[in-house]
Amino acid sequence: QQPVQSPQAVILREGEDAVINCSSSKALYSVHWYRQKHGEAPVFLMILLKGGEQKGHDKISASFNEKKQQSSLYLTASQLSYSGTYFCGTPQGETSGSRLTFGEGTQLTVNP
């Protein structure tokens, strides 16, 4: 079951904030976040595990709500370099390990 991401696309001005959501109809055991720029490889951002933890990476942070089966990625004070497509990836099941199913992606555009 593919996770569902929202919104599909968002356009920001430099310095604005954004939230990208990733939700699943099945139990979530971990959530991976990647960013992919056009024509380039996806780049790992962070992984969240069960326990509702929140992680941060520069001005990008994420939370994981196990009960709601949802993760959110927070981008604060966005920079031009944040532009790209953001994918969340989730294991198919508890024994799926690192085999991920990715959401359809959220295209983020940051304009000057």
Residues in contact with another protein by CB under 8 A are 2, 29-30, 32, 34, 40-44, 47, 49, 87, 91, 96-105
Instruction: Tell me how far apart the alpha carbons of residues 79 and 31 are, in angstroms, rounded to a whole number.
Output: 24
Least separation in angstroms between residue 2's CB and another protein is 7
Shortest Å distance, C-beta 1 to another protein: 13
Least distance in Å: CB of 103 to another protein?
A: 6
Of the two residues 2 and 65, which places its CB atom closer to another protein in the complex? Answer: 2
**What φ, ψ does residue 81 adopt, rounded to 5°?**
-70, -10
Closer to another protein by CB, 59 or 99: give it.
99
Query: How many Å apart are CA 96 and CA 78, to the nearest integer?
Result: 34
Cβ closest to another protein, residue 84 vs residue 103 = 103
| CB 15 to another protein: min, Å | 27
Residues 6+ apart with CB under 8 A from 105: 5, 8, 36, 85, 86, 87
Of 52, 46, 47, 48, nearest in space to 66 by CA: 52
State which residue, 15 or 26, has the beta carbon closest to another protein: 26
Closest CA to 28 of 47, 43, 56, 6: 47
